[in-house]
Amino acid sequence: MDTQARLSVIIPTRDRGSVLAATLADLAGQRDFDGGYEVVVVDNGSSDGTREVLARAPATMGERLVTVEQPRGGPAAARNAAIGAARGEILLLLGDDTAPAAADLLAAHAALHREHPESTYACLGRIEWTPRAPATEFMRWLDNGGPQFHYWEIAPGPVRIEDYFYSSHVSLKRSAFDAAGGFDVRFPYAALEDADLGRRLAENLVSLDYHPELVVWHDHATTIEQSLARTVRVGRCAALYNEICPERPHPRIQRPARLAELTGAAASPALAAISWSPAPPAVRRRIWSLAHRAAYARGYRLGPPEAR
């Protein structure tokens, strides 16, 4: 790989104008490095002030900012469109709500790829709740034993790319992305589309190197109701994955037990309703876990989602 290789930051967004503005402001302050960087933002059909945010951003980002319109298809289609417009050999996938925690984040990703020029190298960074807003007890559980990210179970170094390819903070070579076929646009939500791509990258022998010192701040306050709604979508996308990829079973994308499928629709709201009852924290965490399992089962029973 050319030591002057450009890095392209890939960000899909939809109706998150204020959060996107903060993320772009932090990206504008990144330290420069050999090869440089660009930020490619794809608007996935926003109806808020996102267009105005993107119109103002060149004042601080200049020609580094590339904007793309992709009004349909969800985040999988949006990321594919952004990468199609990108000029970099290194792709850094971020969310519109995952801003760099340090001014050398992009330079650090680029340096790791220069040290590992092989097309089969990818790098996973860490995602933590932003210190700019308080994280609730529930949010802290989501990231520490809950279903959101599983950093708590891995150590620095090589990790299974099919299990930990988190599209809110991961970098890889463009050639590896293209060889794997990109994101499958049949996934309409931000749910399992990255696990599906991770499985195909694994089949192409792409390795994932976890560097917890590379941190982004996740600015997305989440309630239990919002999390359970997302978990229903995850369940539906799990049903989609197992329908379209029966020859590629994924260890983390399982059909729930039949009884869980049948009871999930009723159990999830009921468990959510009692989750904040006066009880020891360990009991609340157990209830949250059961509620999310029920929500996943409910989504799986609903079946694959329709295309957006």
131-to-27, 29, 97, 138 alpha-carbon distances in Å: 17, 18, 13, 16
Better-predicted residue by pLDDT, 129 or 249: 129
Last residue of a domain, one of 218, 240, 256: 218
User: Is a pLDDT exceeding 80 seen at residue 238?
Assistant: yes
Question: Are 174 and 276 in a shared domain?
Answer: no
**CA–CA separation, 180 vs 253, rounded Å?**
19
Question: Are 133 and 239 in a shared domain?
Answer: no
Read off the amino acid at residue 245.
C
Under DSSP, is residue 67 helix (H, G, I), strand (E, B) or coil? strand
**Residue 190 counted as domain residue:** yes
Q: Which pLDDT does position 286 carry in this prediction?
A: 87
Q: Which pLDDT does position 77 carry in this prediction?
A: 95
Question: Are 198 and 83 in a shared domain?
Answer: yes
Instruction: For residue 18, name the pLDDT band (cuts at 50, 70, 90).
Output: very high
18-to-22, 25, 70, 148 alpha-carbon distances in Å: 7, 11, 19, 23
Question: Are 204 and 244 in a shared domain?
Answer: no
Last residue of a domain, one of 158, 192, 218: 218
User: Is a pLDDT exceeding 90 seen at residue 166?
Assistant: yes
Domain count of the chain? 2
Q: Rounded to two decimals, what is the model's pTM?
A: 0.93
**Residue 12 counted as domain residue:** yes
Question: Are 124 and 143 in a shared domain?
Answer: yes
Average pLDDT over residues 19-33: 95
Question: Are 155 and 246 in a shared domain?
Answer: no
Task: Give the CATH number for residue 76.
Answer: 3.90.550.10
Instruction: For residue 13, name the pLDDT band (cuts at 50, 70, 90).
Output: very high
Instruction: For residue 308, name the pLDDT band (cuts at 50, 70, 90).
Output: low
Q: Which pLDDT does position 73 carry in this prediction?
A: 84
Last residue of a domain, one of 218, 236, 253: 218
**CA–CA separation, 110 vs 36, rounded Å?**
9
Tell how strand 157-159 and strand 90-94 pair up.
unpaired
**Residue 65 counted as domain residue:** yes
**Residue 80 counted as domain residue:** yes
Q: Which pLDDT does position 71 carry in this prediction?
A: 85
**Residue 1 counted as domain residue:** no
Better-predicted residue by pLDDT, 6 or 3: 6
Average pLDDT over residues 187-193: 94
Question: Are 66 and 214 in a shared domain?
Answer: yes
Question: Are 250 and 280 in a shared domain?
Answer: yes
48-52, 120-124, 218-222, 235-239: the lowest-pLDDT one: 48-52
**Chain center to CA of 286:** 25
pLDDT > 70 fraction of the chain, expressed in percent and rounded: 92
pLDDT digits (tens, 9 = 90+) for 108-118: 999 999 999 99
Residue 179 near residue 157, CB atoms below 8 Å: no
Task: Provide the mean pLDDT of the chain.
Answer: 91
**Residue 124 counted as domain residue:** yes
Question: Are 236 and 118 in a shared domain?
Answer: no
Question: Are 95 and 168 in a shared domain?
Answer: yes
3-7, 18-22, 92-96, 194-198: the lowest-pLDDT one: 3-7
Average pLDDT over residues 62-77: 91
Residues of the domain holding 257: 224-302
**CA–CA separation, 296 vs 298, rounded Å?**
5
**Residue 30 counted as domain residue:** yes
User: Is a pLDDT exceeding 90 seen at residue 249?
Assistant: no
pLDDT digits (tens, 9 = 90+) for 147-164: 999 999 999 999 999 999
pLDDT digits (tens, 9 = 90+) for 262-299: 555 555 555 555 555 667 888 888 888 888 988 999 99
**Residue 11 counted as domain residue:** yes
Question: Are 13 and 62 in a shared domain?
Answer: yes
29-43, 166-180, 253-267: the lowest-pLDDT one: 253-267
Q: How far apart are the first and last CA of the chain?
A: 37
Average pLDDT over residues 250-267: 68
User: Is a pLDDT exceeding 70 seen at residue 261?
Assistant: no
Question: Are 192 and 49 in a shared domain?
Answer: yes
